[in-house]
Each structure stands twice: as C-alpha cells, then as structure tokens.
Amino acid sequence: MAVVSLENKRIVITGAARGLGRGFAEAALDGGARVVIADILEDRGRQTADELSSRGEVSFQFVDLADPASIEALAERAEQILGGIDGLVNCAAIATGIGGKMSDEIDIETWDRVMTVNVRGTWLAVKAFTPALRKAGNGKIVNVASDTAMWGAPRLLHYVASKGAVISMTRSLARELGNDGIAVNAIAPGLTLVEATEYVPEDRHRQYIDGRAMNREQQPEDVNGAVMFLLSDASDFVTGQLLPVNGGFVFN
C-alpha cells in the first residue's frame, strides 16, 4: 500500500486494540502520525501499543463507549498526550457474536447494547473531540460504518441498523461541522478477515467472494488506504461522503 503522508498529524483511533483499528494505527504511524489507541480491551490495547512503538509515537488509553464519562476522559487525556487532535477514527463497535438471529429473535437487551455503543458511542465521541478538532483547524473525522447497511444483510438487523445510523449521522455532522473546518466522512468495509468476523458462517464469506467485482477475501490492509486518505490533507474538500471499501460487492 502506498503510504499517504500524515506527517505530524495527531490521531485518535477507537477500537484499535485489534482488527481493522489496529491496521489503521499501523498505517497512520507509517504515514508519520502520532497515535493514541483507545479500546475497552485494556490488556490487548497496551500490548498493541507496545508492539507498534517501533513504528512511531503511540500510546494506549482505555475507553468504554457505553460510558459517557469514559469518552469525555479519553478526549481530555488524548489532547493532553498529543498536544491537540487533528483526526478521530471511530472504529470501535459491537460486532462479534451477535449475528445469526432473525429480527424477531433479537432480544431487547442486545439491541440496546449495540445501539448504545455503535450509535450513541460514536455520537458522544464526536461530541467530545469536536472542541479539540475545532481548535486544531482542518480536523478530520472518519466513521467506520459497514456495507451491510447498504445491501441490507439479513440475520444482523441490530448491527445493520446501527451502521445505517452512523452513515446518516456522518452526513448531518458534516453539515454541522463544515464551517468549523472539520470534515466528517464514513467508510463502509465489506466482510473483512479479522478476529471480530471469525464467527461469520462460511456461506456468508462465500456470498461476499462470489458477489464482488474482485473475487477474493478482503484483508484489513485493503481498508487502510481509504482511511489514511480521509485523514490526510488530500481530502480537505471532501466531507459528508460514504466510501464503500468492499471490492465491488456493493456500488454506492
């Protein structure tokens, strides 16, 4: 992957202890950014920060997206650590182990938990980091949605609905924050080979491979370039957009 320059950018990535978020952290560090990894998986997050320390300046901070006070604390600590914030990647979400149920089989507790973290948590993260992004000028927010919300994946209604909400919030936030010099965009990855998708049945993997314009499995590194572009100065006049990154499984 060609590295987009993020030289001296100060970036916070939630959900970066593993999977896609870790890949974004690796790519951002390779591009010259200073990075704060934030995750609820404290031991895994610290391990990831240690493993990536040879690439550049990186640290770990705990965050629980179900807890508004935890999100506020993250924003305060990250700004102190980095001396300001230039970019926020909202990658953290509940995705693992919730699929496979029809809409009438999903329990209310699980629905509420998914919405609390994936939707409210994303909104509260944007809210908490907006003052720092506004001060920095030319700030970037990248929300990680999912192409499941574009094609209406079955047996995953709560997750699909949460990512559809993230897409809609991205467009509204772009209009609200545009005159503050903050660009807000979203990406919609397809089914990617990461730890969080190991539970996905083989037939769903096969459906993606066979349905893509590029007939192969999607790897985490396939998504990095889009996020790095949206964090970089090259995307200064791009906002409110949804960029599917799925090998042509769904066209926008």
Distances (CA, A) of 124 to 79, 127, 171, 242: 16, 5, 16, 20
Q: Which of 60, 129, 159, 249 is catalytic?
A: 159
Instruction: Pick the more confident residue, 99 or 160.
Output: 160
CA dist 217 and 219 (Å) reads 6
pLDDT, tens only, 131-167 = 999 999 899 999 999 999 999 999 999 999 999 999 9
For the entire predicted model, the pTM comes to 0.96
The beta strand positions in 127-167, using DSSP E, are: 140-144
Instruction: Identify the band that residue 3 occupies on the pLDDT scale cut at 50, 70 and 90.
Output: low
Q: What is the average pLDDT score of the chain? A: 95
Percent of the chain with pLDDT over 90: 89
- Reported as a single tens digit per residue, the pLDDT across 189-237 is 999 888 778 778 888 889 999 999 999 999 999 999 999 999 999 999 9
pLDDT at position 59: 98
Residue with tokens 């329990």: 107
Catalytic-residue membership of 159: yes
pLDDT for the residue numbered 195: 78
Measured CA distances, 91 to 21, 22, 24, 203, 234 (Å): 6, 10, 9, 26, 21
SS (H, E, C) 172-230: HHHHHHHHHCCEEEEEEECCECCHHHCCCCHHHHHHHHHHCCCCCCECCHHHHHHHHHH
Rounded CA gap, 148 and 46, in Å?
Answer: 31
Q: Which residue has the tokens 């924003």?
A: 75
Question: Taking 60 as the threshold, does the pLDDT of residue 98 lie above it?
Answer: yes
What is the distance between the alpha carbons of residues 123 and 128, in angstroms, rounded to a whole number?
9
| CATH 3.40.50.720 at 10-245, yes or no | yes
Polymer length in residues for the chain? 252
Coil, strand or helix at 25: helix
- Of 132, 37, 19, nearest in space to 79 by CA: 132
